[in-house]
Amino acid sequence: MIANPTERFTGRVESYRRFRPGYPAEIVEVLRRECGLGDGAAVVDVAAGTGLLTEIFLAGGLAVTAVEPNDEMRAACAELEREYPKLRCVAGTAEATGLPDASADLITVAQAMHWFNLEKTRAEFVRILRPGGCCAVLYNNRRLGGDAFHERYEALLREFGIDYMAVKGQHMGRKRLAEFFAPVEMRCEVFANAQSFDYAGLEGRIRSSSYMPQPRQARFEEMQAAARRLFDETQQDGRVTMVHECVVCWGRLG
């Protein structure tokens, strides 16, 4: 496990909220159908961050409890309460949510499963799920190559990322996720998910990553210069497109 994952995004909240990819709204209907969620279903979004996933369930009319350990991230997520009265934000972790037994019909985890102690997390999820409840794990998997922009973006992360390769190595593919759900079968669906950036957006996307230098850290200015060259040399009509596959895997936890 990488040390202190809870605090890795402190100071990056605004970049994260504005420039990280969101999640396709059709995911809500897929999980409603597959997990048998009615209008009164209770969703618990664990490691909710700034609420990028939380919001699509709220917009779909579901009540969501957003569990987030980082104070800055949780405060940003709580701003959604002004628009969505069915949102409740609480301090907690995947291993210790602080929620009551059998209080969730669906637990979601987006772009965060690799930070958790999986054994303790599974036990906690089983505790707070109602009988027959589901868990869904989502990852926006960025395209790593195939064109100049994606290949050079990956090279930039490798060059300047403080511990990029260690974080990348922890990400959970389908085999590891299936082990988390076992012995129950896990099902998956993939959605196209792309972002279009001007230069400010691309820089914000880079700075939203926990492994990239922040202002006043070593190599920050050098990283900025490399990002500027990447944009200038790969943009079309003043924009670049970052392509993701949004992979959603779900199952019941017996």
Q: Give the model confidence (pLDDT) of 33-47 as tens digits.
A: 999 999 999 999 999
State in Å, rounded, how far the first CA of the chain is from the last one: 26
Q: Which of 110, 146, 144, 106 is nearest to 125 (CA)?
A: 106
Confidence of residue 5 (pLDDT cuts 50, 70, 90): low
Between 168 and 8, name the one with better pLDDT.
168
Q: Which of 112, 107, 152, 154 is nearest to 128 (CA)?
A: 107
Q: Give the model confidence (pLDDT) of 108-129 as tens digits.
A: 999 999 989 999 999 999 999 9
Contacts 24+ apart (CB under 8 A), 157-161: 157/209, 157/211, 157/212, 159/226, 160/212, 160/213, 160/219, 160/222, 160/223, 160/226, 161/209, 161/211, 161/212
Judged against a pLDDT cut of 50, whether residue 1 lies above it is answered with no
Sign of CA dihedral 149, 153, 155, 156: positive
pLDDT for position 7 = 65
pLDDT for position 121 = 98
Judged against a pLDDT cut of 60, whether residue 2 lies above it is answered with no
Q: Give the model confidence (pLDDT) of 184-227 as tens digits.
A: 999 999 999 999 999 999 999 999 998 899 898 899 999 999 99
CATH label, 5-142+170-194+244-252, candidates 3.40.50.150, 3.40.1360.10, 3.10.180.10, 3.30.360.10: 3.40.50.150
Q: What residues does each domain of the chain span?
A: 5-142+170-194+244-252
Confidence of residue 79 (pLDDT cuts 50, 70, 90): very high
pLDDT for position 4 = 61
pLDDT for position 21 = 95
pTM of the model: 0.92
pLDDT for position 30 = 98
pLDDT for position 6 = 63
Q: Alpha-carbon distance 103 to 99, whole Å?
A: 7
Q: What is the mean pLDDT of residues 56-78?
A: 97
Q: Give the model confidence (pLDDT) of 130-186 as tens digits.
A: 999 999 999 999 999 999 999 999 999 999 998 888 888 777 889 999 999 999 999
pLDDT for position 230 = 98
pLDDT for position 216 = 87
Helices (H), the chain: 13-19, 26-35, 54-59, 71-78, 118-128, 148-160, 164-170, 174-181, 199-207, 220-234
